[in-house]
């Protein structure tokens, strides 16, 4: 079951600001990625998945994703 970056963040009860801090990016940058996870660089996507404790496939290779496996 694939979920969105926003759903993953909310499951962990994290704010956008906190996730941005943990990723070392500006909040606006993270917000952009949250709305379009396919734009998140691979390294940051891996970091994000560690933060929310989910496998990369769960978020970034969902049926609607433009990324390929």
- Name the CATH code of domain 5-60 (choices 1.10.3260.10, 2.40.50.140, 1.10.1040.10, 1.10.260.40): 1.10.260.40
Domain ranges of the chain: 5-60
Query: What pLDDT was estimated at residue 63?
Result: 57
Quickly state the pLDDT bin for 38 (edges 50, 70, 90): confident
Q: For residue 27, how many other CB atoms are within 10 A of its CB?
A: 14
Euclidean distance between CA atoms 66 and 11, whole angstroms: 24
CB-CB contact of 34 with 9 (8 Å)? yes
5-to-26, 50 alpha-carbon distances in Å: 16, 12
**42-53 tens-digit pLDDT:** 899 999 999 999
pLDDT tops 90 at residue 64:
no
| Beta carbons within 8 Å of 57's beta carbon, 6+ residues apart | 2, 69
| Model-wide pTM > 0.85 | no
């Amino acid at each position: 079951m694939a979920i969105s970056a926003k759903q993953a963040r909310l499951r962990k009860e994290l704010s956008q600001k906190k996730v941005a801090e943990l990723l070392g990016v500006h909040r606006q940058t993270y917000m952009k990625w949250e709305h379009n996870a396919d734009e998140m660089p691979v390294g940051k996507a891996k970091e994000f998945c560690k933060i929310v404790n989910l496998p990369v496939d769960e978020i970034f290779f969902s049926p609607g994703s433009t990324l390929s496996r």
